[in-house]
Amino acid sequence: MTFLPPEHPTLPSGALDALMNASHGDPFAVLGLHEWGNHLVVRVFRPDAERVVLLLRDGAERVELSRTHGEGLFEIMCQPVSGGLAYELEVTLKSGAVVRTHDPYTFGRLLGEFDTHLFAEGHHWNLYEKFGAHLRVVEGVEGCSFHVWAPNARRVSVVGDFNHWDGRVHPMRKLQECGVWELFIPGVGAGAHYKLEVLNSKSEVVLKSDPFAFFSQNGLQTASIVFDLHRFGWRDEEWMEHRCRQEWHRRPISVYEVHLGSWRRKVEDGGRPLSYRELAHELIPYVKDMGYTHVELLPVAEHPFEGSWGYQVAGYFAPTSRHGNPDDFRYFVDFAHQQGIGVILDWVPGHFPKDLHGLAKFDGTALYEHGDPRQGEHCDWGTLIFNFGRNEVRNFLIANALFWLDQFHVDGLRVDAVASMLYLDYSRKSGEWVPNCHGGRENLEAVDFLKRFNEVCYNRYPGVMTIAEESTAWPGVSRPTYLGGLGFGFKWNMGWMHDFLHYMELEPVYRRYHQGQITFSLCYAFHEHFMLVFSHDEVVHGKGSMLNKMPGDAWQKFANLRMLYAWMYAHPGKKLLFMGGEFGQWAEWNHNRSLDWHLLQFPLHDGLRRMVQHLNWLYRNEPALYELDDTYDGFEWIDFHDADHSVVAFLRKSLGGDVIVFVANATPVPRTGYRIGVSNAGFYSEVVNTDAETYGGGNVGNRGGLWADPQPWQGRLHSLVLELPPLSVVGLKWTRPRPAELDGEFVPSGSLATRKSLD
């Protein structure tokens, strides 16, 4: 075979100039192997190279390419060859290093037409298997493929530590029908740092992190990192198989909400946050010991600003590298499942930050965000709003939700700020928002997106749960879409939370005037599948800790908080408590420091923690507290009229006929001989007493339980005469034991669940 070194570039001057200044939008048209007159020409553009050698027949034949332009264009010509010309390149860099590689511009199209069709329709649910950086073998060559959506960009290049971050070296091919850019780069392996250099529609060159990166740097360093997602070996088969059969509305759900960076820190190592693997072996045993069923993590997707707590996401497909790599996070989830603990993630499809390296103006246009600032910006948060009316954007978000369920086995997604998505006038004044096509304030595109998101999640992953943080009266948030609802599994009960906290923050002497605040929630408690929450939002921004919200001296603060938590567990609805609340932090939550674990050396704090632990035990073991959470069949008022004494009484029931009576006394005055009506004769064992001495109370109670009197009261055939401790909740479970069975079975009040086995 005869090779002819050209003396001058074979490219037209316009194409040559575009290649030199990195503005050529179709590099495959000029680089690699091409016909040139009656010859074939191989063109290689490597500004970082001193010389380039063509290797033929597995390196047995070597032909040096001619440098036809000083900026790094190398060329060689030869006669046409039947069957094509197979070659490799040996590149001697200016640093002296020698690299042997295949030519990226000899590989054909990577993304199939069916993939681009589904993406354009907005229905490519496995989009993360195609987009981003994927280690793969193409035509027998190992390397990494890159795909990114940037339809209005003039040129996109992959830059990284493998090409000295030079955007001229690896420009990408554009698939015109969908605006996706792609490139396969031989030899790029796991751990390579990269970004996407975009010559945008405004002729500006910007460096963007990969929207589909599976691993990224964090903080001020924002490079994406190539990561192999196929190496981890899961061991949670039993959990996953069991999960898909769960009907969570009929099961106990008690959630411990956690910010991973501040739950506990390594003081002996400079106060650094724990890694995912350390958290697996410290956080998960704690959650299990406390009796929670699930742990909910504030967003773990990559975010640049620590102070956003993860709610301003820049890398939607990457667990933050603050605590380790994606497999480390998988280890955390896998270990949790093996210990019987579910993992819920906070997910943020409502907005994203304006950081230059992120999604904002990705190709120079409003690509992911809505173009009209009246619809595309959250003024309160300084963030951008996704354009839910665009197929590709909806696809990006739904595929992202499925990515966490698929690749990380998470058990649920708590969707942040749903109210801000549903209403076009959310936190906007008149004239600052655009009505929908019917003249209304509802964001119809966002509603359609949320319905589709829920349908796809539940269809593809039975047994998961989706949870809405939604604070308005939007109807049917947790009802199926086929009944006109949004399709969520659960909704945070923000109304209950605000009413109860306001009531509890009052001095007890004034509570008699606000009885309606603690009874109103039962007017709507069964309109949705509710989750009762005291979340991170209630202990930041000057709101004080849960303990410091309570009135009175230290003893009364703890008594009030014990009463509040027991009331929450007695009230219909699933449960969630933010970390630190379980042992009574005095300080407001600070994301930059650890919780104050040293407080557990003090009896009042440790007593509160043990009470929460026992509440979780009782909740998980008493079907009356969870089986009928969404119907009046499981709840019945006994008396809610006694505002003068700030006392309420109600009962919870199970499908099997179990009954637990709850009585709350919201004043610091003990009530002696307080009679309430009950329907059933028999013995009522005291299973809850928040004034128990073991929790830091005064040990006023009912000596482990009492027999119902045959005296009718409050329209019922029997009654109980109770000792109500101050600032307390007392719970009594109806049983029918023979007197002999009482011996050794029950202990005096002073324990949450009165069975000796608990202590």
Residue in the structure block whose two tokens are 């997707």? 301
Q: Which two tokens stand for residue 184?
A: 């396969």
Q: Angle CA(496)–CA(499)–CA(501) in degrees, nearest 5?
A: 100
Q: Is 584 helix (H, G, I), strand (E, B) or coil?
A: coil
- Which stretches of 622-703 are assigned E, i.e. beta strand? 635-639, 647-653, 659-665, 671-678, 683-689
- The count of residues in the chain is 759
The β-bridge relationship of strands 465-468 and 412-415 is parallel
d(CA 169, CA 197): 11
Nearest by Cα to 63 from 44, 46, 82:
44
Q: Which residues are tagged catalytic?
A: 416, 469
Q: Is 547 helix (H, G, I), strand (E, B) or coil?
A: helix
Q: Is 521 helix (H, G, I), strand (E, B) or coil?
A: helix
Host H or E run for residue 256: strand 254-258
Nearest by Cα to 598 from 610, 614, 586, 589:
586
d(CA 702, CA 153): 74
Q: Is 147 helix (H, G, I), strand (E, B) or coil?
A: strand
Contact 432, 376 (CB under 8 A): no
Contact 207, 357 (CB under 8 A): yes
d(CA 475, CA 486): 9
Q: Is 161 helix (H, G, I), strand (E, B) or coil?
A: coil
**Phi and psi for 497 in degrees, rounded to 5?**
-60, -45
Contact 466, 413 (CB under 8 A): yes
Give a three-class secondary structure readout of 114-125: HHHHHHHHCCCC
Contact 181, 158 (CB under 8 A): no
The one-letter amino acid at 121? E
d(CA 759, CA 750): 10
